[in-house]
Amino acid sequence: MRELCLPVGLSGDDLKAVDAAVGNRTRLKKGDSLYRTGDSFAALYAVRLGTLKTTVLAEDGREQVAGYHLQGDIIGLDGLGTERHGCGAVALEDSEVCTIPFEHLEELARDVPPLQRNLHQFLAREISRDHGVMLLLGSMRAEERLASFLLNLSERYRARGYSSTEFVLRMTREEIGSYLGLKLETVSRLFSRFQEEGLLKVSGRNVKLTSVAALRQLVGQRG
């Protein structure tokens, strides 16, 4: 348990204290809910292994994927300082998470300034991430959205030491569509079109990006 779930630039005693704040790992099977919208909030979670999706729920029951979370991501931040989780989290494949009891973390943040700073950065990053999604949903065309999504995944896999051009989608076309504000048929058509145009090769959930440059161009073409 030497390894740290919350990647902070700490040392010595501080580090030990943080270690102590991080609870043990929880295993999740594909389809398991880590928490649901409205569950009482008690902890953050660090994804150790696997992939989760978080979903937001409208009053009328509509549900939408708010994000996909890979190894190293911290989730549950939206419930911070409040009573209840504002969204739900579900494992898209067998996964593992560390529980970080929030009561404890908040206390620790008071004693360890770098940790406080780090927590704030996580929160701000989450807000920035959401702003990026808003930009995507509000001003991009369908093909730009999918290209953007794929490039984002690519980048994140790269940062984790996996191939940035060849990976397995852990979500269905419908889930991708939900995240991108598109219908599943539209997503499917786009994959086919991208393949025709030589941007990628796709076979079910296996994707191989063959022209990252072209995908990039596709995203940034509207002024």
Partner DNA sequence: CGCGCCGTTGATATTATTCAAGACCAGTGG
Partner DNA sequence: CCACTGGTCTTGAATAATATCAACGGCGCG
Q: Which of 147, 158, 148 is nearest to 71 (CA)?
A: 158
Sign of CA dihedral 81, 93, 71, 183: negative
For DNA, the closer CB: 161 or 223 = 223
Least distance (Å) from a copy of itself to the CB of residue 2? 26
Least distance (Å) from DNA to the CB of residue 137? 11
Structure tokens at 119: 């927590």
Q: Does 188 bind DNA (CB under 7 A)?
A: yes
- State the Cα–Cα distance between residues 179 and 83, nearest whole angstrom: 26
Residue 62 touches which of a copy of itself, DNA, none (Cβ within 5-8 Å per kind): a copy of itself
Q: Which residue type does 142 have?
A: A
Contact pick of 128, 204, 213, 223 for DNA (by CB under 7 A): 204
- Per CB under 8 A, which region of 10-18, 123-131, 159-167, 168-176 contacts a copy of itself? 123-131
Least distance (Å) from DNA to the CB of residue 218? 12
Contact pick of 1, 20, 134, 159 for a copy of itself (by CB under 8 A): 134
Q: Does 58 bind a copy of itself (CB under 8 A)?
A: yes
**Cβ contact 140:221 at 8 Å:** no
- State the Cα–Cα distance between residues 144 and 206, nearest whole angstrom: 20
**Cβ contact 140:190 at 8 Å:** no
Q: Does 135 bind a copy of itself (CB under 8 A)?
A: yes
Structure tokens at 55: 């979903």
**Cβ contact 76:35 at 8 Å:** yes
- State the Cα–Cα distance between residues 165 and 204, nearest whole angstrom: 16
Q: Does 82 bind a copy of itself (CB under 8 A)?
A: yes
DSSP label at 39? P
Q: Secondary structure of 46-58 in the HEC alphabet?
A: EEEECCEEEEEEC
Q: Does 143 bind DNA (CB under 7 A)?
A: yes
For DNA, the closer CB: 27 or 120 = 27
Q: Does 223 bind DNA (CB under 7 A)?
A: no
Least distance (Å) from a copy of itself to the CB of residue 94? 27
Contact positions toward a copy of itself, by CB under 8 A? 56, 58-62, 64, 66, 77-82, 86-87, 106, 109-111, 113, 116-128, 130-135, 137-139, 178-181, 219-223
Contact positions toward DNA, by CB under 7 A? 141-143, 172-174, 181-189, 191-192, 202, 204-205
